[in-house]
Amino acid sequence: MMEAVANAFLVVYLDTIDEALLEYLDEDDEMLLDAVRRLRLYTSTLLDGALTPAQLTEDWDDFFDLAPAFVAAYGSAELEELEYAASFLGSVQGDAEVTLTEGDRAYLRELETQLDMYPEMRTTTEE
């Protein structure tokens, strides 16, 4: 029953932001593994410094909606606290260059860990 609540929450959360974000959900209203893998890839790329938040905005702006959606639906209380302290999520505007703070890095490291655990958290299997 908890999974159904999380899934319904995720649908409402994403639909409230932009209906187009629903394309990242599967038929069971869980985040697609491909979307999670892409979130993981960009999280690592940000941590490595190979991509800046501004470059990520140009490359895949949906990251800034999907990462918080993932945290809200699947994240731990610790990750939610780290997200609250992360400043880069709300400060990336257009071409503005944002430097990651230590709080941002702590959030991204924990997000990376929880994205890795997502396949085991899923209530359904994806072929």
Residue 47 has pLDDT above 90, yes or no: yes
Q: Which of 72, 73, 63, 75 lies closest to 115, judged by CA?
A: 75
How far apart are the C-alpha atoms of 20 and 123, rounded to whole Å?
23
Residue 46 has pLDDT above 50, yes or no: yes
Residue-averaged pLDDT of the chain: 86
pLDDT score at 119: 83
Q: Give the pLDDT band (50/70/90) at residue 28.
A: confident
How far apart are the C-alpha atoms of 59 and 79, rounded to whole Å?
24
pLDDT score at 17: 80
The residue ranking higher by pLDDT, 14 or 43, is 43
116 phi and psi angles, rounded to 5 deg: -65, -30
Helices and strands, number each (H, E), in the chain: 7, 0
pLDDT score at 5: 53
- Domain ranges within the chain, ordered by starting residue: 2-121
pTM of the model: 0.85
Please compute the mean of the pLDDT values over residues 85-108 and round it to a whole number: 81
Entry field: residues in the chain? 127
